[in-house]
Structure 1
Amino acid sequence: MSTLNVSYIMEITRRDFAERFAGSVLGSLWAIIWPMVNLFIYIVIFGKVMGARLPGTSQMNAYGIYLAAGLIPWTAFAATINRSASVFLEKKHIITKVNTSFSSLLLHINLSETITYGISMLVFFIILVFQGYDFHGSFLLIPFLYYLQQLLALGLGLFAAVLNVFIRDVREITGVILQLWFWFTPIVYIPDILPSVLQKFMIYNPAYILIQSYHRIFVFNDYPPFKALVLLTVMTHFVLFFSFLMLRYLEKDIRDFL
């Protein structure tokens, strides 16, 4: 297996981020404009104009914060998996000509989505500061939550990427699964509206544990469910280990098949 090249990863990450806005007049400024527009819709429109409320909190814009706290991490998580699923096929012109590390191709997607996530979170924090939001000590756990979610996305994305080389339908299947996964996870609704049967199965949804942790921190000024996070951490590292083991076993076949 090829070794990682940090400078190469940083370079393709820079290119990936720049190419998103190539040819536009404002260029990379759109990376700031879009989060501002989205957060304005989440917090101002849903939170104040529509007067949405959440049980357990008296904040006027609690639902807007609830939406933003769930959608920002989910967007990074889902985009990482979805883009990773087709990365080997999209970069086959590089893979077949240069001895490129497959891991580098996955990591550059993760880093690129991290930049978008970081900008969105920064804008979110600025809006909260201007609203006089009372920050809680649990906010210190946000970097760990992001690390965990992107590690899981890396493992799942790598698994999908390997399968997609041999079964081209995997990319489309991944998109369908992510769409269903989004609606099975309480991001735009509260878990209490689900039937009791589904609520019992929700604890087996890793995205629910992550999003619930963000909601507890941002909306309820509380700490995440530590026991669930410990179990999720173990599962995440197992998924990542299994995916890399599969990649190592099939790397030669992948290069030949491409």
Structure 2
Amino acid sequence: MSRLNLSYIIEITRRDFAERFAGSVLGSMWAIIWPMINLFIYIVIFGKLMGARLPGTSEMNSYGIYLAAGLIPWLAFSETINRCASVFPAKKHIITKVNTSFLALLLHINLSETITYVISMLVFFLILLCTGYEFHISLWLLPVLYYLQQMLALGLGLIAGVLNVFIRDVRQITGVILQLWFWFTPIVYIVDILPEPVRKIIMYNPAFRLIDAYHKIFAFHSYPSFKGLWVLAVVTHLILFFSFLMLRYLEKDIRDFL
């Protein structure tokens, strides 16, 4: 496996982020404008105008905060997996000409989505401050949650990316699975509305553990389940370990197929 080059990862990340807004008048300013528009819709439209509320709370912005707190991490998580699934064919022109590290191509996606996530979170925090929101001490867990979230996405994205080289339908299958996964994860609804048998099943959904932790911190001002996060950490690193072994074993075949 080719060695990682940090400067190379940073450079392709910079290019990736710049290419998203290439040719537009406002350029990278759109990275700030879009989160502001989306968060305005979540918090103001759903919270104030539509009057949506979370059960057990009278706070006017509660549902908007609940929605934003789940959607921001989910978008980073799902986009990382989705983009990793097609990264090798998309970067074929680089892989076939340069002895580049496959892992670097995946890490640049992770880093690019991290930039988008951080910008969205900063805008989210700014809006919360403007609305008089009181932050909970559990905010210190956010870096831990993001690490687990993106490492899980990296592992799953790597598996999908490797399989997609040999079975091109995997790219489309990944999109379908992510769409179903979104609705199987309580992001736009609360878990309490589900029937008891479904609630028991959903506890095994790793995305539920992540999103529920974000909801606990932002919407319910409490700590998430540490036991659940420990289990998630073990599962995440097992998937990551398996995906690295898979890449190491099949790297030569991937280059040949491309």
TM-score, normalised relative to structure 1: 0.99
User: Which residues in structure 2 correspond to 1:177-188 (within 5 Å)?
Assistant: 177-188=177-188
The separation in 1 between residues aligned to 2:93 and 2:26, in whole angstroms, is 30
Q: Which runs of 4+ in 1 moved over 6 A?
A: none
Code of the aligned partner of 2:66? Y
- 1:194 shift after superposition: 1.3
| Aligned length, in residue pairs | 258
The separation in 1 between residues aligned to 2:15 and 2:24, in whole angstroms, is 15
Tell me how large the CA RMSD over aligned residues is.
Answer: 0.5
* Residue aligning to 2:31: 31
The separation in 1 between residues aligned to 2:143 and 2:232, in whole angstroms, is 16
The separation in 2 between residues aligned to 1:56 and 1:227, in whole angstroms, is 25
The separation in 2 between residues aligned to 1:216 and 1:253, in whole angstroms, is 44
Identical-residue share of aligned pairs (%) = 79
Q: Deviations over 1:57-102 (max 9, x none)?
A: 2211100000000000000000000000000000011001100000
- 1:178 shift after superposition: 0.0
Would you say the 8 A contact 1:88–1:165 is kept in 2?
Answer: yes
* Residue aligning to 1:72: 72
Code of the aligned partner of 1:221? H
- 1:132 shift after superposition: 1.0
| Gaps in structure 1 of 5+ consecutive residues | none
Answer yes or no: is 1:191 the counterpart of 2:191: yes
Q: Deviations over 1:142-198 (max 9, x none)?
A: 111011000000000000000000000000000000000000000001111112111
Answer yes or no: is 1:99 the counterpart of 2:103: no
The separation in 2 between residues aligned to 1:144 and 1:256, in whole angstroms, is 38
* Residue aligning to 2:53: 53
The separation in 2 between residues aligned to 1:225 and 1:48, in whole angstroms, is 30
Answer yes or no: is 1:128 the counterpart of 2:124: no
Code of the aligned partner of 1:21? F
**Secondary structure at the residue paired with 1:163?**
helix
Would you say the 8 A contact 1:47–1:53 is kept in 2?
Answer: yes
TM-score, normalised relative to structure 2: 0.99
**Secondary structure at the residue paired with 1:222?**
coil
Would you say the 8 A contact 1:154–1:240 is kept in 2?
Answer: yes
